Amino acid sequence: MNILETIMQAQGGGLMRQLAGAVGVDERSLQSVIGEVVPALSRGIQRNVSTESGFSSLANALAKGDHQRYLERPEQLRQSAAQLEGNAILGHIFGSKDVSRNVAGAAARETGVDAGIIKKLLPLLAPVVMGALSSRASSAGMLSRGGSSSSSSLGAIASFLDFDKDGSAIDDVLNIARRFF
């Protein structure tokens, strides 16, 4: 299961209902938007983990952030702390608000959903993506003391970001990134 599937199936669709309600769109529109923005988030994460220090920072954030709570209890996304956390995560993933705006604008053009709604969604979606990664990293043993090596942990995360399941997330990210940059 990849990251999109994990998000869409979390809590039997309860996560999707919470996100749709939080930003005021129907679930079908939300699914389209998520299909557009999660790959951009994944690209940012991949860029960050391409260095040893970036990978170490991600592993630390996954281990200490308790992001899985958003998958398990999506109603917590309605708390102001979730949005603050999401904005901090977006800052790490994208590096600037301009990139977030570009992602929202491109997704709006592709889906027809207002860019303002997508800008409201991004800080809610960022901790959800981290929760999905945390769940995956935990199941891969990456978050345990003395867990798997960096290369095998990175492989577990990279496979999670592989949308077409061809064994490489690079092509998926490059194909999707063309729409955003």
pLDDT tens-place string over residues 138-173: 665 555 444 444 444 445 555 555 555 555 544 544
- For the chain, what is the HEC assignment? CCHHHHHHHHHHHHHHHHHHHHHCCCHHHHHHHHHHHHHHHHHHHHHHCCCHHHHHHHHHHHHHCCCCHHHHCHHHHHCHHHHHHHHHHHHHHHCCHHHHHHHHHHHHHHHCCCHHHHHHHHHHHHHHHHHHHHHHHHHCCCCCCCCCCHHHHHHHHHHHCCCCCCCCCHHHHHHHHHHHC
Residue percentage of the chain with pLDDT more than 90:
38
Q: Look at residue 51 in the predicted model and tell me its pLDDT.
A: 74
Domain that holds residue 133: 3-180
74 with 18: CB under 8 angstroms? yes
Largest interatomic CA distance in the chain:
47
Query: Does the pLDDT of residue 39 top 70, yes or no?
Result: yes
Q: Cα 140 from chain centroid?
A: 18
Q: Look at residue 147 in the predicted model and tell me its pLDDT.
A: 42
Indicate the pTM of the whole model: 0.76
| Total number of domains constituting the chain | 1
